[in-house]
Amino acid sequence: MPTFVYSTDSPATVRADVLVLPIFEGPEAGPGIKDVKGADLLALYAEAKLKGKKGEPLLVPNTGGLGVAAKSVLLVGVGKRRDVTTDSLRRALGRVAPQLAKRRTVATTFPQVVGRSPEDAVQATVEGVLLGAYRFDRYKSGKNEDHPEKPALRTVTVLGSPRWTGRAVVRSLEESIARGDIVSDAVAWARDLVNTPAGDLTPEDLAGHAAQMAKEVGLECKVWTEAELQRGKFGGILGVGQGSVNPPRMIELKYKGGPSGQAPIALTGKGITFDSGGLSIKDAAGMEWMKCDMAGAASILAALKAIARLKPNVNVIAAIPSSENMPSGSAIRPGDVLKHRGGKTSEVVNTDAEGRLVLADALAYLAERKPRVIIDTATLTGACMVALGRDIYGVFGNDRGLIRDILAAGEAVGEPGWELPLHRDYRHLIKSQVADVRNAGKDRWGGAITAALFLAEFVGDTPWAHLDIAGPAFPEKAGDYWPNGATGVPTRTLVQYVLIQATRPSRRSG
């Protein structure tokens, strides 16, 4: 990981392998362009037929006539001046981050593009560089021509406006750099977990990674074994996992940053380390990317990792269920009835609707802890992807204030979500003749809603929100600041939500 340093030095005087300067669409000069006296950079950019659209790059080598100390200048479009946000910075830098990773030293004026909230702009700059440079190459031999170069980047100088001085301002911006570094590290870890092949990440392996992380950052951790899950009557986690030779686990984490009597924020995420569909088996194409069915669990683990390092004044607990959904002679069958934590029963009509079965146990367990809110994340339904596509997660819940807070947190960090209705009139679609509820609707319509309604059965009156991240968690197509594969969504949303809540009084006492 490179080191980030803050400076208000003139861009022309900073020594670096490459100086990254923003260009507004037009093109129009962004901060730092006019500091380069030896060449008309804007004219060079325009002559290359570039407009300044987000991420459009032009590398200008310094052969001695630019009048800057940097060896080269990289001009990068950030879009229209009036439309630029902190996420614009993150995305534009993310697009050029792979080539920046090949340089040892980089400097940039990118935070100066946004006139307000320099702290957010600095954090977004750090995240753009780190998240955009991420690669998952653990299984590359190094002899393959497609194997990417190892990152060479050692130092990034974040150039603030000359007005951003004073001890308090500088300290605040340095804290923003540290926060961006911590959050990016957590997201990269989530991506690593999701990208790891399922053969190397069983429920036991996932729990082992969680326990190691907890030890490193100072979280309390308990891993529930199969025997303990049986004694605790976690019928959903056990039922889904009974078809696999790899036994299920539940990972319980606690972060104690608030007063001992403060009700905690409760988090959980779907941790299906591989989803074959069980006896309701998927086709071959549908199984190819099912190592990602634990992306919800990964986002919760990563969020706790970041929270423990950022140390907000709030209590957070997590209960993360993990099973492997496989077909075998011992697998659950359509028509079976599972008894969940707390006593409710569910009829399994489709073994490929397994995520809600494990989450039901975790939600019921967390509700027993009397938290202020419960949030779950899950790659739960293709129906949500049909509705919202690959970039946007759906949010359901029983508390509009909680939903608004989550959506605001997602918007602030560039992870967009959209509220979908928890339409109670659809409850009849998951009514069972033999159990309290069935695990899939009676027809294909409204599948994301009926899945959320199933989960709602297990939270009682606790304020609760469900994030269906099936689309953005693993889009299989490179984005602005991620390569093919896992994105780490919604880790940054969860961290932002918790940091904001740490400044507010609890809405529910324990």
Residues 101-148 have pLDDT tens digits of 999 999 999 999 987 789 999 999 999 999 999 999 999 887 555 555
- Residue 487 contacts residue 472 (beta carbons within 8 Å): yes
The pTM for the full model equals: 0.96
Mean pLDDT of 356-360: 98
Q: Does 332 score more than 90 pLDDT?
A: yes
pLDDT tens digit sequence for 491-502: 999 999 999 999
Report how far residue 471's alpha carbon sits from residue 102's, in angstroms, rounded to the nearest whole number: 31
Amino acid at 228: E
What DSSP line would sit under 232-281, residue for residue?
Answer: TT-HHHHHHHTTSSS--EEEEEEEE-S-TTSPPEEEEE-EEEEE--TTSP
Query: How would residue 343 be classed by pLDDT, with cut points 50, 70 and 90?
Result: very high
Q: What is the mean pLDDT of residues 400-421?
A: 98
Query: Which amino acid belongs to residue 20?
Result: V
- pLDDT of the residue at 509: 38
Joined tokens for residue 324: 């492997």
Assess whether 282 carries a catalytic annotation: yes
The 3-state DSSP class for residue 374 equals strand
- The percent of residues above 70 in pLDDT, for the chain, comes to 98
Q: What is the pLDDT of residue 481?
A: 95
> Nearest-5° angle of CA 491, CA 494, CA 496?
110
Residues in the chain: 510
pLDDT band at 418 (very low <50, low <70, confident <90, very high): very high
Residues 299 and 490 sit within 8 Å (Cβ to Cβ): yes
Are 123 and 142 spatial neighbours (Cβ–Cβ below 8 Å)?
A: no
53 among known catalytic residues = no
- pLDDT tens-place string over residues 164-198: 999 999 999 999 999 999 999 999 999 999 999 99
Strand partners, 323: 272
- Write down the catalytic residue from 282, 369, 370, 404: 282
| pLDDT for res 299 | 98
CATH of 213-501, one of 3.40.50.720, 3.40.630.10, 1.20.1050.10, 3.30.160.70: 3.40.630.10
C-alpha span between 91 and 127 (Å, rounded): 9
CB atoms within 10 A of CB 507: 13
Amino acid at 322: S
pLDDT of residue 217: 98
Q: What crossing angle do the helices spanning 167-195 and 203-217 adopt, rounded to 10°? A: 160
For range 381-389, the mean pLDDT: 97
Lowest pLDDT segment from 114-123, 329-338, 362-371, 456-465: 114-123
Over residues 41-56, the mean pLDDT reads 96
Residue 199 has pLDDT above 60, yes or no: yes
Q: What tens digit of pLDDT does each residue of 66-83 get?
A: 989 999 999 999 999 999
Give Cα 476 distance to the centre of its chain: 15
Predicted confidence at residue 507, as pLDDT, reads: 56
Whether the CB-CB separation of 386 and 449 falls below 8 Å is answered with no
pLDDT band at 279 (very low <50, low <70, confident <90, very high): very high
Give the ranges where 20-117 is alpha helix by DSSP (H).
41-47, 86-100
Long-range contacts of 173-177 (CB under 8 A, 24+ apart): 173/6, 173/118, 173/119, 173/122, 174/6, 175/119, 176/118, 176/119, 176/120, 176/122, 176/123, 176/126, 177/4, 177/5, 177/6, 177/122, 177/123, 177/126
Q: Give the Cα separation of 414 and 145 in Å (integer).
A: 34
Q: What is the DSSP string of 326-349?
A: --STTS--TT-EEE-TTS-EEE-S
Determine the pLDDT at residue 143: 58
User: What is the domain partition of the chain in residue ranges?
Assistant: 3-187, 213-501
Tokens read off for 347: 């009829």
C-alpha distances (whole Å) from 101 to each of 6, 11, 105 are 19, 20, 9
Of the candidates 291, 341, 356, 492, the residue annotated as catalytic is: 356
Domain 3-187: which topology?
Leucine Aminopeptidase, subunit E; domain 1 (3.40.220)
Q: Which residues contact 218 (CB under 8 A, 6 or more apart)?
A: 308
Distance CA 327, CA 329 (A): 7
3-187 against 213-501: fold identical: no
pLDDT at 57: 98
Average pLDDT, whole number, for the chain? Answer: 96
